[in-house]
């Protein structure tokens, strides 16, 4: 070989080496400089470990600190369809994993298989495959541990004897990576249906971090959702090839902040008593609904609030439009004769009448402004003192008292007692009665409203509003705002916010309230409309109500349907609790009266509550009409 040939070969070799090094250099520049950010991001995605720490949703407690609703940790089981579909050694990976998980998740294997199939979707980066598919929510931690233990083994039915070691390692990695779990919470009411309408219920909402957040859907759960839910924490670090955290490379560590606990004024024992008695009455009288409220007149604290039919907050899927409404605050009704307490107390407070003053009840039939007014049960009352108008619940007598009071004062006292306004109770879905209370102009100009409203017709209220009216008379004429929450506390039990009783206004003078209490005592005595509400060891004061029923979208009253009620308190001279019982359309129909149906329910609740709350009995129980009242 000549020197020239050797030189040409050397130059060719050098040229080849130069081109090779140039290509290598360009590749290095491309990887290290031009595409540095892209590959750094990919590397970070491969090694970055982001862990979400779910905050504990606050508990709901009763007045004595007993937990009513709490959250327990559970898991959401998910699969990565893209990773399952990418396996060449296990082409039927989705079917294999569906068969493995089916008995542990107690789900049909075909449904799980369908969930694990890849689904394409278009994004700004092109068409991508989903990497996250929820298989089942609210799985206990013990079941998840069982799943993990199973995934660590080679799936049954998969023969790996001929596989390469790297392929077997890849299968194990697939098992541990393609199926995962995210922490979440499951809300549970420890007492099932107890206080369901007050507590409410929750539902899970997906969030961007793959954890399910609980959101309140009704009751306290909804009203105080922002206080209860807390704030999730997170931790960002790096992981090694075995997906273990490298603690030294931990970048962020933000601890979860638990939600606040809500302590109610509800007493779980009193609530249980009320619900037990309402359930019995619901069975015996088959009403469309029945409600019970127990509150302290002096503070406005609600010890119990129940509505039937009710629901199980632990099974929100079973809640229907018939069971969900809290009729104590969301249902409106004509108050019937319980409204007469407003008319008579207004007449006494203004000095336009006194309890011994006589009114003529037209012998049971009063034609006024085209209306034919009559007293219930065919009564033909003549002259009645006003206290007896209340005792016997004369419709005509109440109209005559309202005429003494006048429309201006009547409207003033309706407003003062809180009708037509929200009570301010911290619950969602309180019905507005603003448009259901006749305005002053209508009362003044109408020829017949002055004859309708005094007997509880032509005006609508909520059950809670009327309970507060009677409680105001029991509380020396001071209307209290309803109190349902005592305080908010943190996870360590420290009080964050305290709620105290609040007086809305003084509605009538204390002397007027005392006179009304004396008159309402006679309602449960012989000759009154609620003798079945009388208690053996306590003097009871209260008022019955029987109202014809109206229905939305329908003019007039529904034939044969009535809303009956009794609202009373005891001991009458030192009221400790006020109890409201209301039945909507009991099966007795036209034979239904508030004292006859609701009086016994009131008495049963009252006697059991008196025993539980250790309310001292009266030294002298009133059994006869007070001597200061004159008989006609």
CATH at 590: 3.40.710.10
Tell me the C-alpha distance between 282 and 367, whole Å. Answer: 38
Tell me the C-alpha to C-alpha distance, in Å, between residue 339 and each of 181, 205, 394, 544.
58, 45, 12, 9
Q: Do 599 and 561 fall into the same domain? A: yes
- Evaluate whether residue 238 is within a structural domain: yes
Q: Do 478 and 606 fall into the same domain? A: yes
pTM, full prediction: 0.85
User: How buried is residue 112: exposed, middle or buried, by Cβ count under 10 Å (0-12/13-18/19+)?
Assistant: buried
Q: Do 242 and 287 fall into the same domain? A: no
Q: Do 466 and 513 fall into the same domain? A: yes
- Evaluate whether residue 79 is within a structural domain: yes
- Evaluate whether residue 20 is within a structural domain: no
3-state secondary structure of 257: strand
Q: Do 276 and 330 fall into the same domain? A: yes
Total tally of structural domains belonging to the chain: 2
Q: Do 203 and 275 fall into the same domain? A: no
pLDDT (0 to 100) of residue 616: 96
Q: 602: closest CA among 547, 549, 564?
A: 564
- Evaluate whether residue 124 is within a structural domain: no
Q: Do 412 and 442 fall into the same domain? A: yes
Domain assignment of residue 453, given as a range: 268-311+326-488+499-613
- Evaluate whether residue 14 is within a structural domain: no
- Evaluate whether residue 251 is within a structural domain: yes
Question: The domain that contains 214 carries what CATH number?
Answer: 3.90.1310.10
Tell me the C-alpha distance between 483 and 180, whole Å. Answer: 45
State which H helix or E strand residue 344 sits in: helix 340-349
- The parts of the chain modelled with pLDDT lower than 50 are 126-127, 208-209, 242, 248, 632
- Evaluate whether residue 12 is within a structural domain: no
- Evaluate whether residue 144 is within a structural domain: yes
Tell me the C-alpha to C-alpha distance, in Å, between residue 626 and each of 365, 521, 586, 631.
29, 9, 34, 11
pLDDT (0 to 100) of residue 386: 96
Q: C-alpha angle 431/424/514, rounded to 5°? A: 105
Q: Do 255 and 362 fall into the same domain? A: no
Q: Do 401 and 453 fall into the same domain? A: yes
Q: Do 446 and 548 fall into the same domain? A: yes
Q: Do 260 and 350 fall into the same domain? A: no
3-state secondary structure of 263: strand
Q: Do 226 and 361 fall into the same domain? A: no
């Amino acid at each position: 070989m000549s020197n020239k040939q050797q030189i040409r070969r050397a130059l060719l070799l050098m040229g080849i080496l130069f081109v090779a090094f140039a290509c290598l250099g360009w590749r290095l520049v491309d990887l290290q400089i031009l595409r540095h950010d892209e590959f750094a991001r990919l590397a970070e995605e491969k090694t970055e470990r982001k862990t979400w720490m779910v905050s504990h949703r606050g508990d709901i407690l009763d007045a004595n600190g007993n937990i009513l609703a709490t959250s327990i940790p559970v898991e959401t089981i998910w699969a990565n369809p893209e990773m399952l579909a990418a396996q060449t050694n296990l082409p039927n990976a989705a079917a294999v994993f569906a068969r493995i998980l089916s008995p542990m998740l107690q789900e049909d294997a075909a449904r799980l298989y369908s969930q694990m199939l890849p689904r394409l979707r278009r994004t700004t980066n092109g068409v991508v495959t989903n990497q996250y598919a929820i298989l089942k929510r609210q799985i206990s931690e013990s079941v998840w541990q069982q799943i993990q233990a199973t995934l660590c083994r080679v799936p049954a039915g998969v023969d790996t004897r001929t596989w390469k070691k790297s392929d077997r390692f890849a299968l194990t990695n697939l098992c541990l990576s393609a199926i995962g779990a995210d922490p979440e919470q499951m809300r549970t009411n420890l007492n099932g249906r107890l206080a369901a309408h007050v507590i409410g219920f929750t539902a899970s909402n997906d969030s961007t971090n793959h954890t399910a957040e609980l959101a309140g859907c009704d009751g306290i759960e909804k009203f105080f959702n922002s206080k209860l839910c807390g704030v999730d924490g997170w931790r960002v670090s790096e992981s090694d090839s075995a997906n273990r955290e490298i603690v030294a490379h931990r970048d962020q560590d933000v601890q979860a902040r638990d939600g606040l606990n809500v302590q109610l004024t509800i007493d779980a024992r009193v609530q249980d008593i009320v619900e037990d008695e309402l359930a019995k009455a619901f069975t015996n009288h088959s009403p469309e609904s029945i409600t019970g409220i127990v509150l302290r007149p002096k503070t406005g604290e609600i010890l119990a609030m129940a509505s039937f039919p009710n629901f199980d907050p632990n099974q929100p899927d079973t809640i229907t439009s018939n069971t969900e409404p809290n009729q104590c605050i969301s249902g409106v009704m004509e108050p019937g004769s319980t409204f007469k307490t407003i008319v008579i107390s207004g007449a006494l407070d203004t000095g336009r009448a006194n309890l011994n003053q006589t009114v003529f009840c037209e012998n049971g039939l009063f034609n006024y402004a085209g209306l034919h007014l009559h007293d219930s049960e065919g009564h033909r009352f003549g002259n009645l003192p006003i206290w007896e108008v209340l005792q016997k619940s004369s419709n005509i007598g109440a109209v005559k008292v309202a005429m003494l009071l006048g429309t201006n004062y009547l409207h003033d006292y309706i407003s003062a007692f809180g009708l037509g306004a929200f009570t301010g109770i911290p619950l969602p879905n309180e019905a507005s009665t603003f448009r259901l209370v006749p305005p002053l102009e209508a009362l003044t100009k109408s020829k017949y409203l002055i004859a309708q409203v005094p007997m509880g017709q032509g005006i609508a209220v909520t059950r809670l509003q009327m309970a507060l009216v009677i409680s105001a008379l029991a509380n020396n004429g001071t209307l209290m705002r309803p109190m349902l929450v005592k305080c908010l506390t943190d996870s360590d039990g420290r009080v964050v916010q305290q709620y105290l009783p609040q007086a809305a206004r003084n509605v009538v003078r204390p002397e007027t309230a005392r006179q009304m209490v004396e008159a309402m005592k006679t309602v449960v005595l012989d000759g009154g409309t609620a003798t079945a509400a009388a208690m053996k060891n306590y003097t009871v004061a209260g008022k019955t109500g029987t109202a014809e029923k109206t229905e939305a979208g329908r003019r007039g009253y529904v034939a044969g349907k009535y809303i009956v009620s009794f609202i009373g308190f005891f001991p009458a001279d030192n009221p400790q609790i006020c109890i409201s019982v209301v039945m909507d359309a009991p099966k007795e129909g036209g034979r239904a009266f508030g004292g006859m149906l609701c009086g016994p329910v009131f008495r049963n609740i009252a006697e059991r509550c008196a025993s539980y709350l250790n309310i001292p009995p009266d030294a002298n129980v009133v059994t006869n009409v007070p001597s200061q009242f004159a008989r006609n």
